[in-house]
Structure 1
């Protein structure tokens, strides 16, 4: 039963995340069309940096990770009414505390902009516009925090699709306001800031019908003792998010010392690996947390062990083919998506090489997310932080060692090695905590998925290589999309065929579920 919940939830989240990613790319294309790489776009990205950073640290990821285990425990041990009191108390807390942070941020926006963009102070017009955009977007933090609370509450009740779909509306609102109303503002870039804040509001409001349907209500309530437990869990998860931000920041600094174009190669290749990480890694991590938290609250460690093993096997079943696909088809993928205009063959070759080294760390990254979710279900948020810090130090150390000899590829490889180290540490710690976990069954499934992936994607590579020179030049974008898309479609079908012939457990489970629904 729990396996079915995990698969269904992961599917819903993956589908919603895919929509969000596509809309995100469309939004980026529209912003590039309207504002390009100009001073106006610089103003927006600087202004958005602070509220977006606070969102990443305190709102979406860390709040859900802390709220779900506590609410699930309350549901099982204390009943629905007590859980509703916790939600109302948390709503009151967010309204007051985040509200104060927002008001403080609006008042002190000039000071904040001076810190994050000191170079803007020499241009009063640019500085004042950045301050204005910062003030417009600061309320976004409050609404995104409320959206995160609503999402965590719904996930606790095994409602996943609407909360996962909600981030789409941030992109939708930005697109609508920029395309439809940018000409109404004295400076068109203000439309983007307005779109961000409206997007935060809609991202929260779109979840409220489901929230009410599940019996929850927003309201002012006194302090609840469960808030202390949530706060204790939030602090380490926030620290873990901070470590990730430091990692990105330091990598950017190191890349700035490399030859021109290095930052761009790393940016585009990172964007590509974020697709399987977001669609599969984040989805399974989010889907498994409420189920595992429920097992812990019920004292069923046997079910926790079984569902953890299934979740990791199911995750690798989904992610291994996309990882090997990015490695083997790296040049056709980069050529098709990016090689046009100023992005020439040299840029494709360098981006593809970075993609190869980044892809080596995908499985470590997604695996870490699922094991981290398991630690969160155990209400242990300290261990993932220790592993994240170790990963960060590994990344920085190897980047400094390899940057001279391997240039930007060294930074990509350092990321992957760090991701693998972090995953192995987490796996070791979870094994100590839950000795019943048998990683041998995961390895068996892993090998089957790997063999099926190499065979199917190898055939896709042969299809692409019918005319290898085709992927050296720019142009013929539609034909390339059709050719590459057809090769990938063939690989997907063959992957399932090979998995079926090898009697892959995860595929067998999915087929059984589909037969029952017919």
Structure 2
């Protein structure tokens, strides 16, 4: 089951990333690196941050354990849906009314003219928050039934819609391109929601939602013993969920929040710094998503159910297999990414308004990000243990320490290495996150996982072969 779920997730994510690659290449070709690309990336940063936090674990890691243990799954799921939709709607309207303040918060280093241009773009992109929550909610519900293909493939629709909007806007004024691209984001969110409808219907979740709505109406419309009992169960489930959810958001989002802060700090650096971070981080996210996020998404429901059924040995066996698979894959990606940093950026982005100087700077930023690939990826495996035991508070404290360390490093390193320092600081925070997660997981359990001679032999041999092959390749082909 784990292998099948991982394959589904990884192929779906790969499909999405392929379209994401074409989207980024098209964006780089049309907008280049400058003020207009910075405006869009700043506006898209917060909803994209929200999508990554929710879609890559935070919501599922708190919702699924509560959903599994709930005796009234219909009323619980409907209550959670309604509460989030109302809160996010209010949030979006507040952003609409205070767009200037929000834009300054997102990119404080922008001048007044740039902030004026960015305000409406920020407002448009903020409406994606509502859509991405609905997508995440439906995807998490489907994971309960071991249905992973929709959550894996739905992001491709967002990228397809953005590509289509860029195609329609390619001959337009630069600012008009930014507007059309932002509306393409909203169209992509709607398409993502629609993709979930058939599997939700097929697996009977619409009936579950209908039962939940009826139970809510019963609670609101009568004062009988049955309605009071339902109300007490609903309150208990919601209280348990929100007690786990808020810490889970922080615990799952260290890399994303750090990236968000780095974007704000990059606005104080030379023009184009935000874009360098964006393009480099997009490539960094590819192996992180295909391997770490795909396998942790597949692994978590299994670990959570095993822990609930007191089958700790089974959970640890699944974690050990996942750890070694990730270790080998992510180490290979790290070595390849750092050694081929210039060639990767050149191949993907250097065309149109994306120049050689942009390639070299983006490549350095990418290499700094890749240093953190292993720790960020492996930390996800051990954090699942905490979430499955409903220790979201402990995971949050670990993430908070890592995040604070990363911010301090960013403020220091950006003074010496500019945008490169921001990426390096993020990787250093990932190392702290990994160390603290392993410490909480337990030294004995960790030793049982890494005490695998065959795994170390394979790791070392494959690593040496990769370095030799890449050195030979770079001898004949390299970017100056």
TM-score past 0.5 threshold: yes
Which one of the candidate residues 420, 444, 456 is aligned to 2:431?
420
Q: Deviations over 1:422-461 (max 9, x none)?
A: 21211111116xx555435455355234223223313422
Q: 2:91 matched to which residue of 1? A: 101
Q: 1:385 matched to which residue of 2? A: 396
Q: Deviations over 1:247-295 (max 9, x none)?
A: 3355456667778987666555443332211111111111111101111
Kept after mapping to 1: 8 A contact 2:9/2:152:
yes
Q: 1:88 matched to which residue of 2? A: 78
Kept after mapping to 2: 8 A contact 1:328/1:457:
no
Kept after mapping to 1: 8 A contact 2:49/2:260:
no
> How far is the alpha carbon of 1:142 from its aligned partner?
1.8
- Say whether 1:206 aligns with 2:195: yes
CA spacing shift, 1:177–1:389, aligned 2, 3 Å: same
Which one of the candidate residues 25, 35, 56 is aligned to 2:21?
25
CA distance in 2, matches of 1:255, 1:40: 15
Report the more deviating stretch, 336-345 or 377-386. Answer: 336-345
- Say whether 1:305 aligns with 2:301: no
Kept after mapping to 2: 8 A contact 1:305/1:437:
no
Q: 1:142 matched to which residue of 2? A: 130
- Say whether 1:472 aligns with 2:451: no
Paired residue secondary structure (1:166): helix
CA spacing shift, 1:454–1:425, aligned 2, 3 Å: same
> How far is the alpha carbon of 1:207 from its aligned partner?
1.3
> How far is the alpha carbon of 1:179 from its aligned partner?
2.5
CA spacing shift, 1:190–1:266, aligned 2, 3 Å: closer
Q: 2:6 matched to which residue of 1? A: 10
Number of residue pairs matched by the alignment: 457
Kept after mapping to 2: 8 A contact 1:69/1:289:
no
CA distance in 2, matches of 1:9, 1:367: 18
Counterparts of 1:98-497 in structure 2 under 5 Å? 98-109=88-99, 112-113=102-103, 116=106, 123=113, 127=116, 130-180=118-168, 187-217=176-206, 218-219=209-210, 220=213, 222=216, 224=234, 225-240=236-251, 244-252=255-263, 268-338=279-349, 352-399=363-410, 411-431=422-442, 436=445, 438-439=447-448, 441=450, 444=453, 446-465=455-474, 467=476, 470-472=477-479
CA distance in 2, matches of 1:215, 1:117: 45
Kept after mapping to 1: 8 A contact 2:108/2:264:
no
Gaps of 5+ in 1: 474-518
Kept after mapping to 2: 8 A contact 1:431/1:437:
yes
TM-score, normalised relative to structure 1: 0.76
CA distance in 2, matches of 1:346, 1:106: 37
CA distance in 2, matches of 1:182, 1:260: 23
Kept after mapping to 1: 8 A contact 2:54/2:60:
no
Kept after mapping to 1: 8 A contact 2:382/2:441:
yes
CA spacing shift, 1:445–1:14, aligned 2, 3 Å: farther
Kept after mapping to 2: 8 A contact 1:309/1:437:
no
CA spacing shift, 1:119–1:230, aligned 2, 3 Å: same
Counterparts of 1:31-46 in structure 2 under 5 Å? 31-37=27-33, 41-46=37-42
CA distance in 2, matches of 1:121, 1:344: 25
> How far is the alpha carbon of 1:319 from its aligned partner?
2.0
CA distance in 2, matches of 1:376, 1:38: 41
RMSD (CA atoms): 3.7
> How far is the alpha carbon of 1:216 from its aligned partner?
0.5
Gaps of 5+ in 2: 217-230
CA spacing shift, 1:305–1:206, aligned 2, 3 Å: same
Q: Deviations over 1:450-501 (max 9, x none)?
A: 223223313422541452xx3135xxxxxxxxxxxxxxxxxxxxxxxxxxxx
CA distance in 1, matches of 2:151, 2:435: 31
Counterparts of 1:55-70 in structure 2 under 5 Å? 55-56=51-52, 61-70=57-66
Paired residue secondary structure (2:442): helix
Kept after mapping to 2: 8 A contact 1:359/1:416:
yes
Q: Deviations over 1:356-408 (max 9, x none)?
A: 44333211110011212222122111222222222223334445665666666
Kept after mapping to 2: 8 A contact 1:316/1:446:
no
CA distance in 1, matches of 2:452, 2:97: 55
> How far is the alpha carbon of 1:104 from its aligned partner?
3.8
CA spacing shift, 1:405–1:205, aligned 2, 3 Å: closer
Kept after mapping to 2: 8 A contact 1:323/1:359:
yes
